[in-house]
Amino acid sequence: MAPLAPRTGDAVFANVERVNAELFTLTYGAIVRQLLTDLEEVEEVNKQLDQMGYNIGVRLIDEFLAKSGVSSCVDFRETADVIAKVGFKMFLGVTASVTNWDAEGTSCSLVLDDNPLVDFVELPDTCQGLYYCNILSGVIRGALEMVSMKTEVTWIRDMLHGDDAYELRVKLLKQVPEEYPYKDDE
């Protein structure tokens, strides 16, 4: 047993339950639209999307681990690779590429050329500050936190803002060691 961790998410993607891509895109669009109406401030919507993503991430990680069979990664480089190749494929059906590592190997960029969330989307002038896909950064942050990595995830490039790709910067802040959870009481 202990099969090697898969290098791609294709096999898992083929086996998981999927929803219609357009339904997914439109539902997400409707959520963002509703948030804009409810919260009015674009900044608040960004925060809310991030929080929603985080809540998804903390649960999604278990499904990811259970279905992909990935075991613990040795370092952050491997983690980033697994997110890009297995994670994105499994949940979004696309893969990302990992680039722009810094010298310490603690921050990198995930570049998405294809992003199913943004089909049919155009940002009006009033929403230029909106990170439409901010939910993704929240998901990554939440999921990594559950495997003991505190990270900071920010958008660098966004096609909706006229860039040529989607680029997420993932920065590892610290790894939390496993502590004995109970306090000894004399």
Partner 1 sequence: MQFFGGSAAAEIAPSPAAPPGTATGLAGNNANMLYIFNRSGVCLLYREWHRPLHTLDAQQDQKLMFGLLFSLRSFTTKIDPTSVDKGNLGVPLLPGQGCSFYSFHTNTYKLSLLESPSGVKVILITHPKTGDMREPLRYIYNIYVEYVVKNPLYVNGTPIKCELFNTNLDQYVKTLI
Return residues touching partner 1 (CB under 8 A).
1-2, 58-59, 61-63, 65-67, 69-74, 146-148, 175, 177-186
Quick one: tokens of 12? 């898992």
**C-alpha separations of 55 from 30, 48, 60 in Å:** 19, 11, 9
Give the span between the Cα atoms of 113 and 158, in whole angstroms: 10
> CB 161 → partner 1: shortest distance, Å?
33
> CB 59 → partner 1: shortest distance, Å?
5
> CB 17 → partner 1: shortest distance, Å?
10
If we measure between CA atoms, which residue out of 117, 79, 115, 116 comes closest to residue 98? 79
Residue 148 backbone zone (phi > 0: left; psi -120 to 50: alpha; other: beta): left
Q: Which is nearer to partner 1, 40 or 185 (CB)?
A: 185
Q: Which is nearer to partner 1, 120 or 182 (CB)?
A: 182
Q: Which is nearer to partner 1, 72 or 128 (CB)?
A: 72
> CB 83 → partner 1: shortest distance, Å?
13
CB 54 within 8 A of CB 141: yes
Q: Which is nearer to partner 1, 11 or 121 (CB)?
A: 11
